[in-house]
Amino acid sequence: MNRSSLKRLFLLLVAILFLISISGKDSFAAPSPAIGTVQKVGGMATVVRQEGILSAKIGLEIYQNDTLRTGPDGSIGVVFNDDTLLSLGPESVLVIDEYVFAPGQGKFLSLSGC
């Protein structure tokens, strides 16, 4: 196995362990409604949600509590419902644990993650 293959295997194992560690927690309930959409993908990029690990593909809907991950050669671009753009480069991890957009109530984009 070359170094690139080992990195990919390592990232996959980390993602699987992450899913095992969160299984059964109520804070990761089924998402609803979608808060954004994947618009660009390059290299290895995944979306981790309660049901498992999804390959990031153009058009994939993004939900609160999703985790966006990119590999050593990965990138992902997301457009949120309020037209905010998010771009992640190689070896990134972002948990979307809160998204607020309610202009009628004076609340604008609030995205928090790690």
Question: If you average pLDDT over every residue of the chain, what do you get?
Answer: 81
Q: What is the pLDDT averaged over residues 50-58?
A: 91
Decide if pLDDT at 26 tops 50. no
How does pLDDT run across 90-114, given as a tens digit for each residue? 999 999 988 876 666 655 555 555 5
Instruction: Say which residue the tokens 């498992």 belong to.
Output: 52
| Inter-residue contact 35 to 81 (CB < 8 Å) | yes
Our CA angle for 39, 67, 82, nearest 5°, is: 45
- Residue 68: per-residue pLDDT: 96
Share of the chain above pLDDT 90, in %: 49
Question: Is 68 in a helix, a strand, or coil?
Answer: strand
Distances (CA, A) of 41 to 1, 10, 36, 110: 25, 21, 14, 23
Domain residue spans of the chain: 3-24+33-112
